[in-house]
Chain A
Amino acid sequence: MKENTAGIVGFGTMGRGLARTLAGAGIEALVMDRSPEKALEALKLLEANLDQEIARWGITQSEKKAILSRIKIVERIEELSDVPFVFEAVADERELKRGVFWGLDQVCPPETILITSTSTLSVSDLAGATRRPDKVIGMHFQNPVHKMKLVEVVRGLKTSDATLKKVMNLAETLGKTGIEVYESPGYVTTRIILPLINEAICVVFEGVASAEDVDRSMVLGFGFDVGPLTLADRMGLDEVRRWNRHLYNETGDHKFLPCALLRKKIRENKLGVKTGEGFFKYDKMGRKIQGGGK
């Protein structure tokens, strides 16, 4: 077993965030994507993200080099057979994820812990695709993974205490604080933040206050680091709607019905930081342009 090494399947936003965070903590990351070409493309994106971190004084050139040297692309799932942890970070589709878990279960030794990054699917259901449901667990990070200190460690029905403990230790090594949650739609973070964001949008939609003032009210009135609308812009407004829909479908609770203004913004392709405009305007570096709100 290669200590100090972890596998990652899937090199999208979450996979890249995981690889960057693991490598930043001195852990070697073996990453597999659908094809080596896709993986190389993703690695380029990751490099660009690291350059942005340098521009924001977050890391230095030599740290970037060290991080990249700890990320290795592998082509076959068998190459992940020798590590204590494997993260699954493919698209949030049940069959796809179950397929990955089945494959990992075939090649990894019985002590390897398999970790899903799913935020919508059931950990217990994914664990059912393996012969080791006690060693399957969820880790729900916030984006950007390397920056946010919290990780929700999600127990499935059969996840063992030993697995939980090991993953909590791993979280600590990554510089995160883990909170233990049982599987439930939206866990803790998403379930609480969505109604807050939605209500903030409704306040703007009804003309009660401007977007800037809504954010100001939460920052200055309640000591939030950022306001709910800035937060929504950072999450991506399409993501916010996808989440609302998911939680509405799961719970049937009307508080998760997205406000009409959110849908309108999405139709206009004002998706937040990633398109340069959502409730506020942003420059290429993702910094808010002052006076860019309505």
Chain B
Amino acid sequence: MKVLVLNCGSSSVKAQLIETDLDLMEKDEERTLAKISVERIGMSASIVRYNPTGKEPFQDTLEILEHRKAIDIILKLLADKERGVIESVSEIDACGHRMVHGGEKFTASTLITPEVLQEIHECSELAPLHNPHNLRGYRAAREYMKDIPHAAVFDTAFHMSMEPRAFLYGLPYVFYKEKRIRRYGFHGTSHRYVSGRLARLTGRPREEMKIVTCHLGNGASMAAVDRGRSVDTTMGFTPLEGLLMGTRCGDMDPAVILYIMGKEELTLAEANTLMNKHSGLYGISGVSHDMRELHKAAAGGNERARIALEVFAYRIKKYTGAYAAAMGGLDALIFTGGIGENDPQVRAMALEGLEFLGIRLDQGLNEKTSGGREGRVSAEDSPVQVWVIPTNEELVIARDTVKLVRGTTP
């Protein structure tokens, strides 16, 4: 089956056309036919990047004012006589959509029906920056591909297996009951993919392992995956909680923001931007949110850049210990995401001193595993295996879509 995977943000649409099916999944023979991204939607100079497998990549600047137009362009490129990878749009068998928030309703991926659509819409209140755009993308795609099944894959779904002890905040219960305020967690598709992939790589069933997964990108989160189920994760009601991130502060005493708002007479919007966009690695270092630049600055003697890196790594270490305790043991730890996949130094810093937990890195393997490479980076005799596994959320979305269409459980 050819599945179009769509990920629609406020001003961008990312798409991949993936060929997969139940037997291809088994044999690991799935293929990405093309990757396309449209950025800066709504402006006069939107950027289209098209990367068809086995053909010349192509880039263009166009006026694309809305998501509908972006999807129109994506479909035209895929079926283009010269540049395309399919003869016509009718070759697309199904469409999978990334949805950020599925609330408590959606514990797994689902085919989109009018009822499901309404329920996703109701979750928009919980993710006002994401869900409305995801839905806009879906509606536009449906217009062009009316007769094929569409599926929704949620960032939150994987974490819906958490118990109340992990997802409840210490607030009056009424806020959970009436306003659905709780830990939801994000990056679920990625945590799920890498933990499943590890089982495949080690030949050991996921149901037998206690795994800590670290998705470290510009947004970063960790999850405790106990025998295939997420039992805890660092992101919370919003993606602001937990690890230090590129520009997000992560964990802190909530009274801090009240204090700053009072002292600086900040509005809600300003406080929100302060925590989400001016903080994190960038806020502490004052240099950049980009790891490569931080390393450069730290190596050049920039003290704040060095401290920012330490805070980042320390929190990963802290949660590793916490999650080992939560699961009552640890069999493996996985790094993924832009930083997790490409930054041996951060990996080493985060795991330094964790030998007592059974974690021993192989310096050589760690150093050479980057740039999209997959592999074990722990020492041969390390009781806990440490792996670097490049994430592939699009593939999960395509697989779930196929399984739903074929009538099996994703």
Residues of A within 8 A of B (CB): 3-4, 26, 28, 56-60, 63, 66, 69-70, 147, 287
Contact = CB atoms under 8 A, between A and B. Distances in A.
A19 B264 CA distance: 26
Contacts of A56: 264, 266, 270
Contacts of A26: 11, 42
Question: Which among B11, B247, B269 has the greatest number of chain A C-beta atoms within 10 A?
Answer: B269
Nearest to B41: A26
A224 B329 CA distance: 54
Given A57-B274, A57-B278, A60-B277, A147 B267 contact: yes
Contacts of B269: 58, 147
Contacts of A70: 43
B65 interface: yes
B275 to A, nearest CB: 9
Contact of B270 (A3, A28, A58, A69): A58
B273 A28 contact: no
B90 interface: no
21 contacts: A3-B65, A4-B65, A26-B42, A28-B43, A28-B44, A56-B270, A57-B266, A57-B270, A57-B271, A57-B273, A58-B270, A58-B273, A59-B277, A60-B273, A60-B277, A60-B278, A63-B277, A70-B43, A147-B267, A147-B269, A287-B265
B270 to A, nearest CB: 5
A114 B267 CA distance: 32
Given A4-B65, A63-B277, 6 more contacts: A28-B44, A57-B273, A58-B269, A58-B270, A60-B278, A287-B265
Question: Which among A4, A26, A58, A287 has the greatest number of chain B C-beta atoms within 10 A?
Answer: A58
A59 B273 CA distance: 6
A100 B274 CA distance: 41
Contacts of A28: 43-44
B137 to A, nearest CB: 16
Question: Which among A4, A56, A57, A63 has the greatest number of chain B C-beta atoms within 10 A?
Answer: A57
A26 B132 CA distance: 15
Nearest to A25: B42
B313 to A, nearest CB: 25
A58 B271 CA distance: 8
Contacts of B270: 56-58
A198 B270 CA distance: 31
Nearest to A60: B277
Nearest to B42: A26
Nearest to B274: A57
A59 B266 CA distance: 12
Interface string B48-79: 00000000000000000110000000000000
A70 B43 CA distance: 7
A287 B266 CA distance: 11
Contacts of A4: 42, 65-66
A28 B274 CA distance: 26
A57 B267 CA distance: 10
A66 B39 CA distance: 13
Nearest to A63: B277
A69 B43 contact: yes
B276 to A, nearest CB: 9
Contacts of A58: 269-270, 273
Contacts of B43: 28, 66, 69-70
Contacts of B44: 28
A69 B11 CA distance: 14
A58 B273 CA distance: 6
B167 to A, nearest CB: 30
A56 B263 CA distance: 12
B285 to A, nearest CB: 15
A63 to B, nearest CB: 8
A69 B271 CA distance: 25
- What are the nearest 9 A-B pairs in CB distance? A57-B274, A60-B277, A58-B270, A26-B42, A57-B278, A4-B65, A57-B270, A57-B273, A58-B273
A289 B43 CA distance: 41
Nearest to B65: A4
A53 B266 CA distance: 11
A20 to B, nearest CB: 14
A3 B266 CA distance: 34
A54 B44 CA distance: 25
A58 B43 CA distance: 22
Contacts of B266: 56-57
Nearest to A57: B274
Contacts of B274: 57
A58 B269 CA distance: 7
A92 B65 CA distance: 34
Contacts of B66: 4
B390 to A, nearest CB: 27
A66 B274 CA distance: 18
Contacts of A63: 277
A66 B43 CA distance: 9
B263 to A, nearest CB: 10
B368 to A, nearest CB: 34
Contacts of A147: 267, 269
Nearest to A146: B269
A63 B272 CA distance: 14
Contacts of B65: 3-4
A10 to B, nearest CB: 23
A69 B47 CA distance: 14
B179 to A, nearest CB: 22
A147 B264 CA distance: 16
A58 B44 CA distance: 25
A56 B270 CA distance: 7
A3 B44 CA distance: 12
Nearest to A147: B267
Interface in B69-98: none
A141 to B, nearest CB: 16
B288 to A, nearest CB: 11
A60 B274 CA distance: 9
B67 to A, nearest CB: 12
Nearest to A72: B44
A57 B272 CA distance: 9
Contacts of B277: 59-60, 63
A147 B247 CA distance: 23
A149 to B, nearest CB: 10
Interface in B242-277: 247, 264-267, 269-271, 273-274, 277
